[in-house]
Structure 1
Amino acid sequence: MDTTLPDLGSIFLASAQSCSQVLLVCVAGFLAAKLELITTNIQKNLSSLIINIFMPCFLFSNVASSVTVETLISLWPIPAFFFIFITIGSGLGLLSGTLLKLNNVSNTKFVITGIIFNNVTSLSLGLLRGIEKTDAIMILKWYPDDTPNVIAKRGISYVLLATLWTNLLRWSLGAYLLKKETRSLIPQHNFDEITDITENDPSKRPVADEITPLLASQRILHPYVERLHPVWSRVKTIFKFKFMNPPLYAALVALVIVAIPPLKSFLFDKNAPFMPLTQAVEYIGSVSVPLTLLTLGAQLKNLSISKSKSIAHMIAYVLTCRLIIMPVIGTVMVMLTRDWYLNDPMLWFVLILMASGPTAVNCMNLAQLTDNFQEEMSALLFYGYVAAIPMVTFLMMIVLSHFKEILYFN
């Protein structure tokens, strides 16, 4: 086989195409909204369909049909690196509150969401499909007789396994991070001062009436409970929030099917009795990504310029973390640990992709699910994919060139 470096132009084209197609579908949604083909009501209805039907079908069909128990066990680096990257990204997100002087916790949670949930699926699959048609794909071969199609399929299975963990966390933790903060209707007072007064002079203790908050009176009567209230309130908030939603249900059901091979065969084998049903589910789910992009473009049409400018510092921070800091960290970690697991360049490549790329488009679905941060998420995704074209392309050229040197010149 020729050991010369593949044409970097073809690598650039593959990366640019996978990012540009996302932007082009968004542009179509923007134009449809401008022509009033997608009105506000239609946009809300589409979002509801995506959350409740299309996205669950997409997750179920992709995870249940592609993942096996064996891959879950032998490919342990994928969940291991995934949770390491999530932890690092969360740390960077928490720092944003101090570095950017954010005025509330909700903004910090928005930044954390934008950093830890990147595009692992559609961008990675688009990149693999693009590279498959170039000479660069042979850099990622594992066995001497590997063909471009075999290499690409192996990469797709790795990406879908990463997608399983991503979606389980995205539709649980992500939905929690973007949920609206509830404002307390109870007036805030300096209860320590009130307690001191009432302890010294019981006659000044306020009497509960129809307009006196019951909780406030409890705080006055039981000052030691007041000290525990912030912690207890946070615990109650966490357990009261409903983590479960249709996409998460679908991912969990798919995981159960993966864990029961006979059931998986009964549903997904070539001559399985329920093959028409699973194919229908796959067909329905296939429209989730383009519809999400269309609604994203429509949302951008209504994006307030002032809103976009007011969060410019947050967007810049998220994109710096997502497109520069995390890819560098991921590349260094994979290169230092590649001897600890399968000697498969495609696995290394996918692990690096897991740390790279812009914020996931599905984060727009999270914003729609929680009815919060929709305009902010639209702006972040738009600028993120504009910036991703040169940044992801540059990263892929460096990584593939380095892989070539490792495999053929060492």
Structure 2
Amino acid sequence: MEVNIKDIIRTVAESILQIAAFCLIGYIAALRGIIDVKVRRQMTRVNVAVFTPALMFSKVAFSLTPDLLIQLWVIPVGYLVLSFVSAAVAWGLGMCFGLSMIRRNVSIAGATFMNSNTLPIALMQTMSATLTLKWKEDDTAEKALDRSFQYLVLCTVLGSVLRWSVGVALLNATEKPVKPKGVNTKILTDPPTREADADSDPSSSGPITPHSAVFNGDLEASTLPPSGRHTEVQKGCLIEVKTGAQCPKSSKANFFQKNWPNLCRRINKLDPRPFIPKGIRKAADELLNPPLIAAFAAIFVACIKPLQDGLGSIQPLREFISTAADAAIPLTLVLLGAFFHRPPKDKKPQTYDAPQKDDGTQTDDATETDDSKSQLTKEKRVHSWTSLLDITLTLLARHIITPLMLLPVLAYICWKSDQSDVVRDPVFILSATLIVGAPPAITLAQMAAKADLDIFDETISKLLLWSYALATPITTIILVVGAMLIYKSTL
């Protein structure tokens, strides 16, 4: 496998520029206010729920076969080893430098879940035509490209399963905001009536103020489906608590209000899944998500040949899935570019001359103002330092330490294996080295959005920017040269 350094540099530059073009579009859209933070998060949820599952299903369901899965058993084993080593390295660095649990989890996620589809596939598409990747005498560039897709698609499936199960659970392992005590949320599930108010004990329940009634109604509105009659009764009951007037004397409204408490109590007693333990239901609700379900469904279809042929023969279905899949990566890159833009903070109030005493010295209020400013400056410096530390440790674990640990192991396995084994395929060696040193997954931003880690938006955006713009072009050249040396050692 002869390698031309100029071709490698050109290939890497073309792939990076293609990604940067989409990111630039998203950044400009965010800069002009077209994609603000709220729109970006909603579009990310749509991407995770629709387009990303279509991408996973289209790449796996109609391309893999059971025989091919059996032959490629080394890929899932190697991918699991790679993920474990990457997580262990990031965890060790986090413990050595005293990172908090949530910061350590973000670092582990960035080091463990690498980009196994967008960048490696783009690189292999170009390198298969420029490099000599023949494994057998009848091998061609088209066959080499097909094999690279099979290897990378399987890595993509495994990465998706780990990313949207273990990764999301890892990022969710943090303290959630505690609900304030003393908030009564029964106003919709048990609407107050005059009889209930008369029978209640004022000393135990306390008075219901207009503010608390409106607040409780808004709090529970998000958990119940809106309905015309329900909204009418809800507004009427809130007015009753607020003003002391009776609810509207409509027969339907009165009937609904009178029977609403009994209906809610009966519904709450029902268990739609009584045969599933509560712990399993909770774990399934936290781990199962559209990309993971799509990955499992794709493997299931690929393992059943009649089902695969039947679904593949439905041309409108395949075109629909393919069209939705084509929108996943561009939309992800555009949202990533918008993710890089940080909206300007609120302007600081105008400064004023600090009050002084008769002798010219500052008063106590002025001293407290100066102390608060210095404290704010100190907190900003600490935040900047911790963010830089998190990014540096993640890049070290992903781009340097993990490849240095695993590439010698890969070289030894290739050297000891037979010529017919898949690990002697130059396409496999090149794909494996690119995966070992690949940058963090672009979907890390989607994972953080799903876990509601808004406080790490800036850290994750800087991590992805530094990785793709600075580290990846350099490390990719080194990785391809390393793959060349490994393959030459097997000849």
Q: TM-score under structure 2 normalisation?
A: 0.67
Matches within 5 A, 1:152-191: 152-179=145-172, 180-183=174-177
Q: Which of 407, 412, 436 is the equivalent residue of 1:331?
A: 407
Give 1:252's aligned residue.
296
1:7 deviates by: 2.2
Q: Which of 425, 429, 433 is the equivalent residue of 1:344?
A: 425
Quick one: distance in 1 between partners of 2:343 and 2:105? Answer: 21
> More displaced, 237-246 or 321-330?
237-246
Quick one: distance in 1 between partners of 2:309 and 2:280? Answer: 42
Q: Which of 443, 453, 467 is the equivalent residue of 1:384?
A: 467
State yes or no: 1:28 paired with 2:28.
no
1:238 deviates by: 7.9
Quick one: distance in 2 between partners of 1:124 and 1:313? Answer: 27
Give 1:218's aligned residue.
none
Are the counterparts in 2 of residues 359 and 381 from structure 1 also a CA contact under 8 Å? yes
Matches within 5 A, 1:124-143: 124-134=120-130, 136=131, 138=132, 140-143=133-136
1:173 deviates by: 0.6
Give 1:395's aligned residue.
479
Are the counterparts in 1 of residues 106 and 171 from structure 2 also a CA contact under 8 Å? yes
Are the counterparts in 2 of residues 16 and 393 from structure 1 also a CA contact under 8 Å? no
Are the counterparts in 2 of residues 176 and 241 from structure 1 also a CA contact under 8 Å? no
Quick one: distance in 1 between partners of 2:340 and 2:142? Answer: 37
Are the counterparts in 2 of residues 81 and 351 from structure 1 also a CA contact under 8 Å? no
Are the counterparts in 1 of residues 110 and 394 from structure 2 also a CA contact under 8 Å? yes
Cα-to-partner distance string for 1:318-354 (whole Å, 9 max, x where unaligned): 1111111122223212111124442312122222222
Are the counterparts in 2 of residues 30 and 298 from structure 1 also a CA contact under 8 Å? yes
Quick one: distance in 1 between partners of 2:55 and 2:113? Answer: 18
Pair 300,399 (structure 1): closer, same or farther in 2 beyond 3 Å: same
Are the counterparts in 2 of residues 171 and 248 from structure 1 also a CA contact under 8 Å? yes
1:240 deviates by: 7.8
Are the counterparts in 2 of residues 175 and 369 from structure 1 also a CA contact under 8 Å? yes
Give 2:359's aligned residue.
none
> More displaced, 19-28 or 87-96?
19-28
Q: Which of 296, 305, 313 is the equivalent residue of 1:261?
A: 305
Cα-to-partner distance string for 1:70-117 (whole Å, 9 max, x where unaligned): 121111110011111111112112213322211x21111101100110
Give 2:390's aligned residue.
314
Pair 304,390 (structure 1): closer, same or farther in 2 beyond 3 Å: farther
2:176 counterpart SS class: coil
Give 2:51's aligned residue.
54
Q: Which amino acid aligns with 2:125?
A: R
Pair 87,13 (structure 1): closer, same or farther in 2 beyond 3 Å: same
Give 1:224's aligned residue.
none
State yes or no: 1:109 paired with 2:192.
no
1:149 deviates by: 1.5
Q: Which of 328, 341, 348 is the equivalent residue of 1:301?
A: 341
Quick one: distance in 2 between partners of 1:101 and 1:156? Answer: 40
Pair 239,57 (structure 1): closer, same or farther in 2 beyond 3 Å: closer
Quick one: distance in 1 between partners of 2:10 and 2:485? Answer: 16
Quick one: distance in 2 between partners of 1:323 and 1:256? Answer: 34
Quick one: distance in 1 between partners of 2:309 and 2:342? Answer: 47
Percent identity of equivalent pairs = 26
Q: Which amino acid aligns with 2:76?
A: P
1:184 deviates by: 5.6
Give 2:358's aligned residue.
none
Pair 19,326 (structure 1): closer, same or farther in 2 beyond 3 Å: farther
Cα-to-partner distance string for 1:47-91 (whole Å, 9 max, x where unaligned): 121011111111111111222111211111100111111111121
Quick one: distance in 1 between partners of 2:451 and 2:292? Answer: 14
Are the counterparts in 2 of residues 113 and 177 from structure 1 also a CA contact under 8 Å? yes
Matches within 5 A, 1:65-84: 65-84=62-81
Quick one: distance in 2 between partners of 1:54 and 1:320? Answer: 32
1:402 deviates by: 4.3
Cα-to-partner distance string for 1:374-406 (whole Å, 9 max, x where unaligned): 332212111110121111122212322442x33
Quick one: distance in 2 between partners of 1:67 and 1:236? Answer: 31
Quick one: distance in 1 between partners of 2:384 and 2:46? Answer: 27
Q: Which amino acid aligns with 2:481?
A: M
Quick one: distance in 2 between partners of 1:304 and 1:161? Answer: 42
Are the counterparts in 2 of residues 330 and 356 from structure 1 also a CA contact under 8 Å? no
Equivalent residue pairs, number: 352
Give 1:201's aligned residue.
none
Q: Which amino acid aligns with 2:301?
A: I
Quick one: distance in 1 between partners of 2:65 and 2:122? Answer: 23
Are the counterparts in 2 of residues 15 and 130 from structure 1 also a CA contact under 8 Å? no
Give 2:328's aligned residue.
288
Give 1:242's aligned residue.
286
Q: Which of 448, 457, 473 is the equivalent residue of 1:367?
A: 448
1:309 deviates by: 5.0
1:186 deviates by: 10
Are the counterparts in 1 of residues 165 and 288 from structure 2 also a CA contact under 8 Å? yes
Q: Which amino acid aligns with 1:324?
A: I
1:247 deviates by: 0.9
Are the counterparts in 2 of residues 63 and 254 from structure 1 also a CA contact under 8 Å? yes
Quick one: distance in 1 between partners of 2:107 and 2:402? Answer: 14
Q: Which amino acid aligns with 1:125?
A: I
State yes or no: 1:353 paired with 2:434.
yes
> More displaced, 337-346 or 74-83?
337-346
Runs ≥4 in structure 1, deviation > 3 angstroms? 183-187, 235-241, 303-310
1:28 deviates by: 1.9
2:136 counterpart SS class: coil
Are the counterparts in 1 of residues 433 and 479 from structure 2 also a CA contact under 8 Å? no
Q: RMSD of the alignment, in Å?
A: 2.6
